[in-house]
Amino acid sequence: MDLSRFTFRLNRFIFGLVFGHSVKYIIFSSFFFSSNQQEGLGVTSYKADPWCARFYCHMLYIIFFPQMVRLPAGTFTMGTDKPGIPQDGEGPPRRVQLDAFHMDIYEVSNLDFERFVTDTGHVTEAETFGDSFVFDGFISEEIKRAIDKAVAAAPWWLPVKGADWRHPEGPDASISDRMDHPVLHVSWNDASAYCAWAGKRLPTEAEWEYACRGGLEKRLFPWGNKLQPKGEHFANLWQGTFPSNNTAEDGYVQTSPVDAFPTNGYGLYNMVGNAWEWTSDWWDTRHSIDDAYNPKGPASGTDRVKKGGSYMCHKSYCYRYRCAARSQNTPDSSASNLGFRCAADAAGTP
């Protein structure tokens, strides 16, 4: 463990003792700098306001709760020669070289997204369309009675009127006790708008997979090849029988806080499981086996790539909580298990 990661964890531990988990978010985010303008990586510009203390509080926040890590330049094997789901285009394996870049440590949380919406007035596509897809096991009977259509290939997905990021299971749901959970029901377009506001961008699929692997080469998961080392859970997935029985042995029936479960070797949380994460690439299942340098995916397409699987993934039907695994949705799609995190260029670094 390097010094910066040790300091980060020590600081989190001390503040965890002083402040409750959600209280620290309220104190450091909502109150002190809820009106701050973000530029660059969110630390470079501040609105003039009478709260000059905000500047120092923001700096403290950045020091004690850093939001991004710098991943070193490197070459890695993207994809796999042992695809779990071959039709997804998990192979062939190919050598990919990347420049250094920054990656969000956490999935973007409801609290993060609320700051964005407060600052910009952004209306998500789910809100514009008036509905979004929700797993039927989480929908109240009252709302379920009003739904008359489902997805033939996946009947557990139901379009729920009034489901959006503030109401993940429908209009009678709330996120008030889930502000540190990943934001859901955000389309690729919404996610791109958030990252642009934060002075960032969505990661390419190659960057996401490189980040997922955490410095390990040709492993299934961010932490190695064994799903549960020493019987411990390293990600928020589905235990039991999908879709009828969720035993939640990992502690969570639905999403978990964005800082739950151990980090990978790059200090990143929940790269697999919890919420699916959008990437900037267009979807295609055919890949060149040639070596690539900072690849950005196909020039065009109809769907965007998402990575990492979610709290709904079980090996029996969605063995996609592996770094090489991938899936896709149209850029205006949203659902109750799909979120994102942002990346940024590391200017001046090789």
The site for Ca ion (CB under 5 A) is made up of 236, 250, 252, 270, 274-275, 308, 311
Residue pair 203/107 in contact (Cβ under 8 Å)? The answer is no
| Cβ-based nearer residue to Ca ion, 126 or 237 | 237
Distances (CA, A) of 340 to 141, 202, 308, 334, 347: 29, 8, 10, 11, 23
Report, in Å, the least distance between residue 229 CB and Ca ion.
Answer: 17
* Nearest-approach distance from CB 80 to Ca ion, in angstroms: 19
Quick one: DSSP state of residue 72? P
Minimum distance of Ca ion from residue 240's CB (angstroms): 9
Closer to Ca ion by Cβ: residue 105 or 344: 105
Tokens read off for 276? 């699916």
Q: Report whether 98 contacts 292 (CB < 8 A).
A: no
What does the alpha-carbon distance between residue 55 and residue 46 come to, in Å, rounded to a whole number? 7
Dump the DSSP string for 262-321: ---TTS---SSSSSEEEEEEEP-S----S-EES----S--SSEEEES--TT--TTT----
Nearer to Ca ion, 124 or 236 (CB): 236
**For residue 210, what are the contacts with CB-CB under 8 A and spacing of at least 6?**
71, 74, 76, 78, 96, 98
**Beta carbon nearer to Ca ion, 184 or 198:** 184
Output the smallest distance, CB 265 to Ca ion, in A: 16
| Smallest gap from residue 133 Cβ to Ca ion (A) | 18
Least distance in angstroms from the C-beta of 259 to Ca ion: 12
Q: Which is nearer to Ca ion, 80 or 236 (CB)?
A: 236
CB-CB contact of 301 with 283 (8 Å) = yes
Using the minimum distance from each CB to Ca ion, give the nearer residue, 249 or 345. 249
